Amino acid sequence: MSIDYSERIPNNVNLAEDRRLRRALESWQPRFLQWWSEMGPTLPTQDVYLRTAVAVGREGWAHFDHVALPDYRWGIFLSERNTDRRIAYGEHKGQPVWQQIPGEYRAELQRLIVIQGDTEPASVEQQRRLGLTAPSLYDLRNLFQVNVEEGRHLWAMVYLLHAYFGRTGRDEAEALLLRNSGSEDSPRILGAFNEETPDWLSFYMFTYFTDRDGKYQLGTLKESAFDPLSRTCEFMLKEEAHHMFVGTTGVDRVVERTAQLTREHDSDDVRKLGGIPLDVIQKYINFHYSVSLDLFGSETSTNVANYFTAGLKGRWQEERRKDDHVLTEAFAVVPRVEGGQVVEARLPALTALNADLRGEYIADCGTGVNRWNRILTDHGLDATLYLPHVGFNRQVGAFAGHHLTPDGRVIEERDWRASRDRWLPTAEDKAYVRALMRPVYEPGKIAAWVAPPRNGINGRPFDYEYVHL
Ligand SMILES: [Fe+2]
Ligand SMILES: [Fe+2]
């Protein structure tokens, strides 16, 4: 399963032997590069210390080197095939997984792949100007690493579209480059991917909360009975781990810096000291968490029930679940608003699978908040950060149209609006954060609003020249 780097498109799917597919992808490649030059990072650089996949096995899959961004070897990497793999759930449970797509599931699978594929280039577009204000070369390198890998994730989905969906797949692959984040005429498919990522606090929050949604969506597709999709997502999840790391440790370092400033100057007013106040950090959490929850869709969905039963997408860690994996008799408890308060409704588990996945995600999000609170405690501070209630600031699903406080009380719209500025970033908060964003490109130096990382990348020190400008 080693990767063939002698090909124009690096791959471990034997592209050399499939001339038609290779030609199709080779004609998509210049369009991708065109998109990267127009919609990718705006900061000009000579080269960046990046990892590139050289194998897909568990150990040592990545190679690190300085690479000029447009020369990054985007390619097609699927995890190793398990020839014994069987469908773990739904009506085909126990049958061998599919190497080709059954005709009756073609449209649904294509839709799932397009929606996933659309998010990958979207985040590159959202983050394209961040390099202009990077707080350190270390952070700049991490940004570009995330960007090139999201570009590779686009390749991953485009490969599936080209290889398995014929003409309509090729058209969809084309369209993935034509929609753009925030565009009036042809926006990205999902709301959160049309929001801007205007500053580095937003970037850390995005990689913590929104990339983590991606992790959970990929986790469900990794369970797919369509084996090439499963293997594609398995390898994407490996890359995705670094994106989570950038988010988690990014917020760690902002919280740590704020805590240091508070301690050193014995003052909560870290604005005067060039730090980001905890209440602003909390508002950013509230915003990014709530828009990311919207990405899980409605709590109840017959489409998703059908996907599960058909074997197209499973639950998070399906095989570790201790139930019948068919769920026709099972029930789930899902929150919703009734009579002016949040109640728990008992619903068929099959239709509540979005809520199931969201529950896994929420638990995972909580681990970061615990870390951040430990940092505050370690600095002797009593303040705490929290995740707002699942119904706070929601535009999708059972809570859309209701007005909930961060602690989960249902209130009147008028009252919600009156308090909004205490819960979500105001124009003034955003302007303050934005004003802190000035580039620091000197090796070993860092902006005043964020602490340096504990460790560098791949054993290199923090003051390593991660990027040559
Ligand atoms: Fe991705
Ligand atoms: Fe990601």
Pairing mode, if any, of strands 341-348 and 331-338?
antiparallel
Which ligand is nearest to the Cα of residue 120, counting in written order? 1
How far apart are the C-alpha atoms of 164 and 102, rounded to whole Å? 11
Q: Which ligand is nearest to the CA of 217?
A: 1
Q: Which bound ligand lies closest to the C-alpha atom of 146? A: 2
Q: How far is the CA of 149 from the centre of ligand 1 (A)?
A: 7
157 CA → ligand 2 middle, Å: 14
CA of 343 to the centre of ligand 2 (A): 34
Task: List, in sequence order, every beta strand (DSSP E) within 258-358.
Answer: 331-338, 341-348
Ligand 1: centre distance to CA 133 (Å): 23
**Distance from the CA of 240 to the center of ligand 1, in angstroms?**
6
How many Å lie between the centroid of ligand 1 and the Cα of residue 171? 21
Region of residue 276 (phi > 0: left; psi between -120 and 50: alpha; otherwise: beta): beta
CA dist 177 → 146, 186, 321 (Å): 18, 11, 38
User: What distance in angstroms lies between residue 19's CA and the mean position of ligand 1's atoms?
Assistant: 28
Q: From ligand 1's centre to the CA of 246, what distance in Å?
A: 13
Cα 466 to ligand 2 centre (Å) = 20
In the prediction, which pLDDT does 267 show?
Answer: 83
> Of the candidates 305, 125, 322, 157, which has an alpha carbon nearest to the alpha carbon of residue 235?
157
The ligand minimizing its distance to the Cα of 155 is 1
CA of 22 to the centre of ligand 1 (A): 23
**What's the gap in Å between 146 CA and the centre of ligand 2?**
6
For each of the chain's 469 residues, which pLDDT tens digit applies? Answer: 578 888 899 999 999 999 999 999 999 999 999 999 999 999 999 999 999 988 777 666 788 999 999 999 999 999 999 999 999 999 999 999 999 999 999 999 999 999 999 999 999 999 999 999 999 999 999 999 999 999 999 999 999 999 999 999 999 999 999 999 999 999 999 988 998 899 999 999 999 999 999 999 999 999 999 999 999 999 999 999 999 999 999 999 999 999 999 999 988 889 999 999 999 999 999 999 999 999 999 999 999 999 999 999 999 999 999 999 999 999 999 999 999 999 999 999 999 999 999 999 999 999 999 999 999 999 999 999 999 999 999 999 999 999 999 999 999 999 999 999 999 999 999 999 999 999 999 999 999 999 999 999 999 999 999 999 9
HSE-CB for 158 with a 13 A CA cutoff: 30
Residue 243 alpha carbon to ligand 1 centre in Å? 8
The rounded Å distance from CA 211 to ligand 1 centre is 7
Buried b / exposed e along 38-65 (16+ C-beta atoms within 10 A): ebbbebebebbbbbbbbbbeeeebeeee
Cβ pair 281, 187 in contact under 8 A: no
Q: How far is the CA of 153 from the centre of ligand 1 (A)?
A: 5
Q: Look up residue 58 and give its two tokens.
A: 């568990």
- Compute, in angstroms, the gap from residue 65 CA to the centroid of ligand 1: 21
Please give the distance, rounded to the nearest whole angstrom, from the Cα atom of residue 239 to the centre of ligand 1. 8
For the CA of 153, the nearest ligand: 1
- How far is 387 from 366, CA to CA, in rounded Å? 7
What is the sign, positive or negative, of the torsion defined by CA atoms of 226, 231, 234, 239? negative
| Contact present, 318 and 228 (Cβ < 8 Å) | no
**Ligand found nearest the CA of 212:** 2
Q: How far is the CA of 159 from the centre of ligand 2 (A)?
A: 18
Alpha-carbon distance of 166 to 98, in angstroms, equals: 17
pLDDT at position 1 = 59
Determine the distance separating the centroid of ligand 1 and the alpha carbon of 237, expressed in angstroms. Answer: 8
Q: How far is the CA of 122 from the centre of ligand 1 (A)?
A: 10
Strands 47-53 and 467-468: antiparallel
Domains of the chain, first to last: 15-468 (1.10.620.20)
Calculate how far, in angstroms, residue 453's C-alpha sits from the geometric centre of ligand 1.
23
Give the integer Cα–Cα distance in Å for 403 and 62.
Answer: 46
Which ligand has the nearest atom to the CA of 236?
Answer: 1
349 in helix, strand or coil? helix
Measured between alpha carbons, how far is 450 from 162 in angstroms, rounded to an integer? 43
Closest CA to 70 of 99, 32, 97, 106: 32
Closest ligand to the CA of 203? 2
